[in-house]
């Protein structure tokens, strides 16, 4: 097990190099960022050349990449066009986004799994039908709309909460945004849990457990749920990245200056240091999340072992 973990951690190195290069290349492929700095005015060639020189953009792609990586190992993640260091941008954005993601995942786990168990046990009952309808709504109505409507109801009409999150973004202000962010994933988690539960209710071990006369709660939690969780855990593992990097809409609705927004700005402005910096950290987060998921497999199903 220990060796397995070490091996997995070592695999981060090629992934790190691969993803930085891929993203660097993709931002490069977006095109020249300098002309856009001048707004609608045509850039004067000398100033543009000076800016390219200052940003090391007047070199070939491989040279730019090596220069970037060299700086990276010195702890210099580069600078965004507004003059802020990318390191500082990340330092501001990641804590907020991590808090938002935690809230969302807690919602996924608590609401998603609860609803999944409920509907899985009561297939065809009104509660199952009701949850299915909610699922359809969540999938069909854009996050922008659900987010805006909830924000309007709770922020403007009921005044339970401020419509926008304050810059420090404490947990209690992130409850509504976290719920909005979690909505689509909730649909997945609920239906995955429901399906697993429904399948496993037919499993031998459940029959055995019931035959032994174990209490219902224990059957559900100890046997049914535990064995049903692997797909759910896998999904949540894959979802962490989407939640952290792709929360652009939610972040905008609630004015959260998180990873999604910074990444989006970096991409629109073709700013390689910003994009590569943020994505690299995100990829490392996936690697760790996936490792944890794999380790959780072994916890949930003791038959699975890692050499």
Partner 1 sequence: MRGATRVKWAAGAVVVALAAGACGGGSSGGGGSTNGIVRASWGDPQNPLEPADTNEVQGGKVLDMIFRGLKKYNPKTAAAENWIAQSITSTDSQTFDIKLKSGWTFSNGEPVNADSFINAWNYGAALKNAQLNASFFAPIAGYAQVHPDATGASAVTDKLSGLHKVSDTEFTVKLSSKFALFPDTLGYSAFYPLPQSFFTNHSAWLAKPIGNGPYEISSYTKGTGMNLVKWDGYKGSDAASNKGVDLRVYTDNNTAYTDLQAGNLDLVDDIPASQLKNVKNDLGSRYINVPAGIIQTIAFPLYSSRWNTPNSAKIRQGLSMAINRQQITQQIFQNTRTPASDWTSPVLGDAGGFKQGLCGQECTYNPSKAKQVIAQAGGLPGGHITISYNADTGSHKEWVDAVCNSINNALGNNTACVGAPVGTFADFRNKITNKQQNDPFRAGWQMDYPLIQDFLQPQYYTNASSNDSHYSNANFDNLVNQANAASSSSESVSKFQDAEKQLVIDMPAIPLWYQNGSAGYSSNVSNVFLNPFSVPVYNEINVK
Partner 2 sequence: MPDGHDPHGHDPLEPIDPSQGPIAPAGGYGGGFDLANADAETLEKGPSHAQEPGGPAGKPRSLWSDAWRDLRRNPIFIISALIILFLVFISLWPGTIATQDPLAANLAKAQAGPEAGHPFGFDSQGRDVYTRVVYGARASVTVGVCATLGVVILGSILGGLAGFFVGWWDAVLSRISDIFFGIPVVLGGLVFLSVVTNSSVWPVIGFMVLLGWPQIARIARGSVITARQNDYVQAARALGAGNSRMLLRHIAPNAVAPVIVVGTIALGTYIALEATLSYLGVGLKPPTVSWGIDISDASSQIRNAPHMLLWPAGALSLTVLAFIMLGDAVRDALDPKLR
Restricting to residues 261-300, which ones interact with partner 2 according to CB under 8 A? 263-264, 267-268, 275, 279-280, 282-283, 286-287, 290, 293, 297
Identity of the residue, 66 or 304, whose beta carbon is nearer to partner 2 in the bound complex:
304
Burial (Cβ within 10 Å: 0-12, 13-18, ≥19) of residue 6: exposed
Q: Is 81 in the site for partner 2 (CB under 8 A)?
A: no
Give the footprint of partner 2 on residues 189-248 (CB under 8 A). 191-192, 195-196, 198-199, 201-204, 206-207, 210-211, 213, 216, 219, 230-231, 233-235, 237-238, 241, 245-246, 248
Give the footprint of partner 2 on residues 108-137 (CB under 8 A). 119, 121-125, 128-129, 132, 135-137
- What number of helices (H) and strands (E) belong to the chain? 16, 0
Distances (CA, A) of 44 to 22, 35, 49, 107, 247: 31, 9, 9, 52, 37
Binding partner 1 (rule: CB under 8 A), the pick from 19, 33, 68, 278 is 33
Binding partner 1 (rule: CB under 8 A), the pick from 18, 22, 50, 141 is 50
Binding partner 2 (rule: CB under 8 A), the pick from 1, 5, 11, 292 is 11
CA-CA distance, 64 to 77, in Å (whole number)?
13
Identity of the residue, 173 or 280, whose beta carbon is nearer to partner 2 in the bound complex:
280
CB-side neighbour CA atoms (13 Å) of 15: 16
- How would you classify residue 151: left for phi > 0, otherwise alpha for psi between -120 and 50, otherwise beta? alpha
Question: Coil, helix or strand for 79?
Answer: strand
CA-CA distance, 225 to 89, in Å (whole number)?
41
Q: Is 178 in the site for partner 2 (CB under 8 A)?
A: no
Question: DSSP label at 44?
Answer: P
CA-CA distance, 257 to 93, in Å (whole number)?
6
Identity of the residue, 63 or 133, whose beta carbon is nearer to partner 1 in the bound complex:
63
Q: Is 254 in the site for partner 1 (CB under 8 A)?
A: yes
CA-CA distance, 244 to 185, in Å (whole number)?
13
Token pair, residue 207, equals 């029959």
Q: Is 163 in the site for partner 2 (CB under 8 A)?
A: no
Binding partner 1 (rule: CB under 8 A), the pick from 12, 15, 26, 51 is 51
Binding partner 1 (rule: CB under 8 A), the pick from 77, 235, 261, 286 is 261
Binding partner 2 (rule: CB under 8 A), the pick from 6, 35, 63, 139 is 139
Alpha helices in 31-111 (DSSP H): 34-37, 45-54, 61-73, 86-107
For residue 125, the tally of other CB atoms under 10 A from its CB is 11
Q: Is 150 in the site for partner 1 (CB under 8 A)?
A: no
Give the footprint of partner 1 on residues 187-246 (CB under 8 A). none
Assess contact for 243 and 101: CB atoms under 8 A.
yes
**Site size for partner 1 (CB under 8 A):** 54
Q: Which does 166 bind (CB under 5 to 8 A by kind): partner 2, partner 1, none?
A: partner 1
By the criterion CB under 8 A, which residues form the site for partner 1? Answer: 30-33, 35-51, 54, 81-84, 88-89, 92, 148, 151-152, 155-156, 159, 162-164, 166-168, 251-255, 257, 261-262, 265, 267-270
């Amino acid at each position: 097990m220990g060796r397995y973990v070490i091996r997995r951690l070592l695999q981060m190195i090629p992934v790190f190099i691969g993803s930085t290069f891929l993203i660097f290349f993709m931002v490069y492929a977006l095109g020249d960022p300098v002309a856009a700095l001048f707004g609608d005015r045509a850039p004067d060639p000398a100033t543009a050349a000076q800016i390219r020189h200052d940003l090391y953009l007047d070199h070939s792609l491989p040279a730019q990449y090596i220069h970037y990586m060299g700086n990276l190992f010195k702890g210099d993640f580069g600078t965004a066009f507004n003059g802020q260091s990318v390191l500082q941008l990340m330092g501001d954005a990641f804590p907020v986004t991590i808090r938002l993601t935690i809230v969302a995942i807690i919602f996924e786990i608590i609401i998603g799994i609860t609803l999944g168990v409920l509907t899985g046990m009561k297939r065809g009952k009104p509660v199952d039908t009701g949850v299915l309808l909610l699922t359809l709504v969540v999938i069909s109505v854009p996050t922008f709309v659900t987010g805006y409507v909830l924000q309007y109801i709770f922020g403007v009409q009921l005044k339970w909460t401020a419509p926008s999150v304050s810059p420090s973004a404490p947990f209690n202000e992130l409850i509504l945004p976290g719920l909005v962010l979690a909505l689509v994933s909730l649909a997945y988690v609920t239906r995955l849990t429901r399906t697993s539960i429904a399948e496993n209710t037919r499993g031998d071990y459940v029959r055995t457990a019931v035959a032994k006369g174990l209490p219902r709660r224990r059957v559900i939690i100890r046997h049914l749920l535990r064995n049903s969780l692997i797909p759910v855990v896998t999904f949540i593992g894959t979802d962490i990245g989407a939640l952290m990097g792709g929360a652009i809409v939610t972040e905008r609705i609630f004015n959260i200056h998180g990873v999604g927004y910074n990444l989006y700005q970096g991409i629109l402005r073709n700013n390689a240091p910003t994009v590569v910096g943020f994505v690299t950290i995100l990829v490392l987060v996936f690697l760790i999340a996936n490792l944890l998921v794999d380790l959780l497999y072994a916890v949930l199903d003791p038959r699975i072992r890692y050499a």
